[in-house]
Structure 1
Amino acid sequence: MNIMRKWWGSGGRMGSVGDCGDPVNSQAAQKHLALGLMHLKKLFSEYSYPTHPLSEPEKEDKLYNMLPLFCKVFGSSPTCDLQEKFADVLPFTQHVSKLMVTEIRRRASNQSTEAASCAIVRFLEIESCEESSNGWMLLSALNLLAAGPPTLIEVMTAASLPSTLVKCLYLFFDLPEDESPAANVADQADNNATEFSSSERRILLQKVFVQLMVRLCSHVAPAEELARKDDLTLLFSAITSWCPQHNALWRKSAAEVLMTLSRHGLSQPVVSYIHKHILEDSEVDNGLEHLFSLESLGIKKCEKELVSFDKEQIDRFREGISFDNGFYHVELPWYTDKIDSVPSNHFVSLKVLDRTVEYLGKKGLIDKYQEVF
Structure 2
Amino acid sequence: MIGRRTGRAVRGGRGRLAAGGAAAGAALLLMTGCTSSGDGPEESRERDRGSGQAGTGGAARSAYWVNPDSNAAKAMRVHKERGEDEKAALVKKIAEQPVGAWIRPEDPEGETRKVTRAAADAGQSALLVLYNIPHRDCGQYSQGGFGTAAEYRAFVDKVAEGIGDRRATVIVEPDSIPHLLQDGCTPGKFHKERYDLLKGAVERMKEQPRTKVYLDAGNPGWTRDPGALVEPLKRAGIDQADGFSLNVSNFETTKANIAYGRRLSPMIGNKPFVIDTSRNGNGPVKGAQDEEAWCNPKGRALGEKPTTRTGEKGVDAYLWIKRAGDSDGECQGGPKAGSWFPDRALELAKNARH
> Could you say which structure has the higher strand fraction?
2
Using structure 2 for the length normalisation, give the TM-score. 0.26
> Could you say which structure has the higher helix fraction?
1
Choose between structure 1 and 2 for higher RCO, CA contacts under 8 A separated by at least 6 residues. 2
